[in-house]
Structure 1
Amino acid sequence: MSEEQRGPIAHRVPDLAALELLLAVARHGSLGRAARELGITQPAASSRIRSMERQLGVALVDRSPRGSRLTDAGALVTDWAGRIVEAAEAFDAGAQALRDRRDSRLRVAASMTIAEYLLPGWLIALRQGRPGTAVSLLAGNSAAVAERLLRDDADLGFVEGLAVPEGLDGTVIGHDRLIVVAAPGHDWARRRSPVSPEKLAATSLVLRERGSGTRQVLDSALAEYGGLAEPLLELASTTAVKAAAVSGAGPAVLSELAVTEELASRRLVRIPVEGVRLRRDLRAVWRQGHRPTGPARDLLSLTRSSG
């Protein structure tokens, strides 16, 4: 193999911009008119032709006051260039079709609090900008969201918890506070002093299931106080936990976002707790190395602008 034939083909074959210029020169018989068609200056066009001639090692265009004429070698290269540009146009059309298919759907996985109280507003705003995108929403706890992303069953996820789940990348989009609530008739609702961390840890509570962001934060916050007592009830949704607390089953720990109406109507009472931090981050997450694109990127932007 000769020296000229070694190395990557990209180093030996002119780029598409140069080939398109050569085709324009063939159409117009003028380097100036070809340059104007492609939106470049004539000196830039001349430089591009000379660079292509050096790269190929043959003269392609004869220039004269009457115009520019292809050499015999230039006519042959122009024929090849036409086929390459046609193939590139087919490639571009195929890539656009892939983008259109990608942009026609968005699969979102979200933890329960975000799915119930934040995502509806974001999705309404997304629809205004992308009315043709069909959105599917899978709601579950934070562990389930991570599993769906890792299986490529979702394009973008939202979780609550202490950290980005393993195998994912993410960014903080907001914050949330967990609060202790109880029905007005519960003994804690009549307390005059805050509940201590030790008392909270030792009390059987109505809780979300293991794997939920709420449970992760609570487990971590109370670990130094002996950890959580055996749950009074362990339920798989925020709505179920709220219903149990409202019914008087026992105190519950819930997102502040989730109990706004119940606190306003006095169906639940907020129980002060001292000495324990129950704040958590809300995160958008995605598979490592697969930063959101298309509608997923747009949805991510909406979460940030609303914060």
Structure 2
Amino acid sequence: MTLNLHLLRMFSTVARLGSFSRAAELLNISQPAISKGVRDFELQVGCRLLNRSQKGVVATSEGRALLKHAEELFAAERAAEEMLSARRGLNNGSLRIGASTTIATYMLAPYLGAFHRAYPGIDLHLVSANTREIGEQMAAQEIDVGLVEGPIEEGGVIAERWRTDTMKLIVSRDHVFATAEEPIDPKLLDKEVLILREPGSGSREIVAQTLAANRIEPLRILEIGSTAAIKQAVVAGIGVSIVSIVSARDQVRLGCLQTIELKGLSIQRALWRLKLPDRTPRPAARVFEKMLDDDMTLSFEE
């Protein structure tokens, strides 16, 4: 029996992510197509590989055994691609960058622009996802460069400090806090609706840890899976939020939002660069990472 490698890739992606929808998004195919592909693959190999339930997808014992071989196979495939890319140099090829949402949206543009101007023959691919998902993609060697906003628990992935980011409380210009001339008492947040990113987001983890350490319990927590959508909700007066100052800069300058200082409370977080200890970076990745060490024209502070 010859395994269909396309279907094997579908299966291994679903098994690793524990979700058909997330696998479909990563592979850029429809969810019905990936569901059918996995069913066809199970028929081909003659056994059930995945157990499906409302809580998610878990590999069977047969599936786990096959997944190990699949990961080795696709790692060899990527190694071959990297060898050929290295031989081609920096005149062509591709660079896959994964970054958690705030970094991808608000911080990477100057670096991407500088790299593209210097190496126009390299195709750039930027994946934006939350911290947990970027860690998973780095572990699976699906990206060459990984940048995240929060702690990483993915086995085999090393996180090295890249930058420091400041987070601030943002409110609408009509909010009662907007008239404050001095830093406010953080305990006032106990009476507010606080808008946060979804679990798995680095921003969410840092804010939650800070609030818990200071015994701050907002009246309600509203989850929105996009920093841009969070800012719009704050502008509309739905609640307040704590976000990277970089992400709010434009709206603050336009007067739509206002940043508020919290008395005795400064929220700063490390931004992390991900590494795989046993993987030699491709030439394009090495050059891009060197650029990340430069200040460029990007300032993370006002």
TM-score bracket for this pair, using the shorter chain length: 0.5 to 0.7
Letter in 2 for 1:99: A
CA distance in 2, matches of 1:231, 1:106: 42
Q: Alpha-carbon deviations, 1:255-287, whole Å to 9, x = none?
A: 100111111121111111022231011121122
CA distance in 1, matches of 2:82, 2:133: 32
Match of 2:171 in 1: 182
CA distance in 2, matches of 1:212, 1:97: 35
1:206 corresponds, among 195, 218, 223, to 195
The Cα of 1:101 is off from its aligned counterpart by 6.1
Q: Does 1:127 align with 2:111?
A: no
Q: Does 1:152 align with 2:141?
A: yes
The Cα of 1:230 is off from its aligned counterpart by 6.4
CA contact 2:99–2:146 (8 Å) conserved in 1: yes
CA distance in 1, matches of 2:254, 2:83: 52
Match of 2:84 in 1: 97
The Cα of 1:146 is off from its aligned counterpart by 0.5
Larger radius of gyration: 1
Letter in 2 for 1:148: Q
Letter in 1 for 2:169: V
Q: Show structure 1 runs of 5+ residues with no match.
A: 1-93
- Distance change >3 Å, CA 283–CA 201, structure 1 → 2: farther
The CA RMSD over aligned residues, in Å, is 2.5
Match of 1:249 in 2: 238
The Cα of 1:236 is off from its aligned counterpart by 1.1
Percent of pairs identical after alignment? 27
Q: Does 1:171 align with 2:160?
A: yes
1:82-93 correspondence to structure 2 within 5 Å? none
1:277 corresponds, among 266, 270, 279, to 266
Letter in 2 for 1:261: D
The Cα of 1:290 is off from its aligned counterpart by 2.1
1:10-49 correspondence to structure 2 within 5 Å? none
1:215 corresponds, among 204, 211, 216, to 204
Letter in 2 for 1:234: E
CA contact 1:207–1:231 (8 Å) conserved in 2: no
Match of 2:127 in 1: 138
Q: Does 1:234 align with 2:227?
A: no
2:105 corresponds, among 95, 116, 121, to 116
The Cα of 1:96 is off from its aligned counterpart by 6.3
- Distance change >3 Å, CA 196–CA 161, structure 1 → 2: farther
CA distance in 2, matches of 1:179, 1:201: 17
2:293 partner SS:
helix
1:137 partner SS:
strand
TM-score by structure 1 length?
0.63
CA distance in 1, matches of 2:149, 2:272: 6
Q: Show structure 2 runs of 5+ residues with no match.
A: 1-80, 297-302
Of 188-197 and 236-245, deviating more is: 188-197
The Cα of 1:291 is off from its aligned counterpart by 4.9
Q: Does 1:224 align with 2:213?
A: yes
